[in-house]
Amino acid sequence: MGITALVLGIIGIVLGLAVFLFWLSWLPALLAVIFGIIGLSYVRKGTANNRGMALGGVIMGGIGLLLSVGGGVISVLVVKGANDSAEDNVLQVEASAEAEDREAVEKAEREAEAAAAARRLSFGEPFLFENGLKVTVEKPKPFEPDEFANGHAKGNKAIEVTITVVNTGKKPAPIESMPYVFDAAGADTDLVIDGSGRQKILHDSIPPGKQAIGRYAFSLPPTAANRAEVEFTPVLMDLNMPDARWSGSL
């Protein structure tokens, strides 16, 4: 029993010193303690004389158990530290991705706001569309409809909107649109049509380096006739072509 306890104690210590084999060291260490205690009992009864071996087996078995517990604790701490580190890395990656996404969204919003602001102009300022058409809406002038005019109510204020379009590109550019005019209250106004022949509708296409001028008349209510806003895009059905707006006092 003493020899067995001593051998098992040595095996338990060796396995316990190899930290990642702690799960193997506890069994021989525990058996070393048990056999060592049995061996000491035989010594007390006088049936054995190897007290030193039995006692050494108990001591070494106890050390092996401590090493097994220590190895388990160390392994738990190592695994926990690795998990915490992995979680921290995941959180950092997620936070970095969220920050990049947020920055990208904010950048896109800033660019959209800047693009929208660039399309808000005062009367007389030119705006260059992506297809090469440079559009200028002049400050509206008073317009006197004839007696056969349609779209103009008595007491309203009629204005003439002049739109100049220059093709700065290298190929013909189509124009398929009509301007929209809003009064000072933001309400859509009525297009005035009469028989004077003064109105001129922009249509067809403009050759490179050429210009076209369109003239339109609109009727504003007297309560909101102090300011107007003109919205225009060369090709109304092209959803990829944003509109531009000119505004100012009348």
Whether the per-residue pLDDT at 196 is higher than 90: the answer is no
118 vs 142 pLDDT, higher one: 142
Q: What is the mean pLDDT of residues 93-110?
A: 87
What is the residue-averaged pLDDT of the chain? Answer: 88
d(C-alpha 212, C-alpha 172), whole Å? 12
Mean pLDDT, residues 56-66 taken together? 82
Predicted pLDDT at 23 = 64
Over 80: is that where the pLDDT of 29 sits?
no
Q: Looking at the predicted structure, is the pLDDT value of residue 71 above 80?
A: no
Residue written as token pair 């072509």 = 241
The correct CATH number of 123-249 out of 2.60.40.10, 2.60.40.1240, 2.40.100.20, 3.40.470.10 is 2.60.40.1240
Q: Which residues contact 87 (CB under 8 A, 6 or more apart)?
A: none
Confidence category of residue 239, pLDDT binned at 50, 70, 90: confident
SS3 101: helix
| Alpha-helical runs (H) found in 119-250 | none
Residues 110-139 have a mean pLDDT of 92
Lowest average pLDDT, out of 15-19, 109-113, 182-186, goes to 15-19
Do 7 and 39 contact (CB within 8 A), yes or no? no
Residues whose CB is less than 8 angstroms from the CB of residue 179 and which lie 6 or more positions away in sequence, other chains included: 137, 161, 163, 214, 216, 230, 231, 232
pLDDT category of residue 221 using cuts at 50, 70 and 90:
very high
- Helix residue spans in the chain (DSSP H): 2-17, 22-45, 51-118
The Cα–Cα gap between 206 and 130 comes to 15
Q: Which two tokens stand for residue 79?
A: 């695994």
Q: What is the sign of the dihedral through the CA atoms of 153, 159, 161 and 162?
A: positive
Indicate the residue type of 244: A
pLDDT surpasses 80 at 9? no
How many helices and strands, by DSSP H and E, does the chain display? 3, 12
Q: Which of the two residues, 219 and 241, has the higher pLDDT score?
A: 219
Q: What's the pLDDT score for residue 87? A: 83
Confidence of residue 226 (pLDDT cuts 50, 70, 90): very high
CB of 204 closer than 8 Å to CB of 231: no
Q: List the end-to-end C-alpha distance of the chain, in Å, as a whole number.
A: 114
- Of 32 and 19, the structure prediction assigns the larger pLDDT to 32
User: What is the reported pLDDT for 122?
Assistant: 97
pLDDT for the residue numbered 73: 79
Residue 40 pLDDT greater than 90, yes or no: no
Length of the chain: 250
**pLDDT band, very low/low/confident/very high, at 200 (cuts 50, 70, 90):** very high
Could you state, in order of their start, the residue ranges of all structural domains in the chain? 2-88, 123-249
pLDDT given at position 236: 76
